[in-house]
Structure 1
Amino acid sequence: MINENILGIVAGTLTSLSMLPQLIKVIREKNASDLSWVMILVLILGLSLWVWYGFLKNELPIIFSNAFAVLVNVCLFICYFMYKNK
């Protein structure tokens, strides 16, 4: 049977990395016209709640993976407003 912490770390890593290709594409192309800022904002809020939940439960895999995902999505949110009209 798989250790719960390893499962949590792998799942968190994969979901946290899922938005990196989008961020890289937006930065390379300097174009964010196809992104929805509402979706990104809702995602940031949801991920932030997961971080809070991780603190309440003292679960490092939840805290670290979701905090990283918040960071990536905040960068994407900033890029949206920088590149939305290009």
Structure 2
Amino acid sequence: MQEVKPVELKMFYRTQRDLAIDLNKLVDSYWQEELKDNELINGIKNLYENNQEKLIKDNHFTKVVQQQCGKRRLAVVEKVLEIK
């Protein structure tokens, strides 16, 4: 059996692209059942709280994040953050 390695998240990201990459890892790990619900929720909320300006602009996900993450992943993020 393969050992599950937890997703390592930074607190602050330099670029939107770096943020999007780790957001993808977080959601993908959840979908592969490597993370529990509360771990996903806490991870997304922490990313959002510390990197708000890189994740959301004018009540929408930034363009880079949209392009890197895709609609299905962002739908999960949206639900967790209760955006809209």
Normalising by the residue count of structure 1, what TM-score does the alignment of the two structures yield? 0.39
Q: Per chain length, whose mean CA-contact separation is higher, i.e. which structure has more relative contact order (CA < 8 Å, sep 6+)?
A: 1
- Name the one with the larger strand percent: 2
Q: Normalized per residue, which structure has more helix?
A: 1
Larger radius of gyration: 1
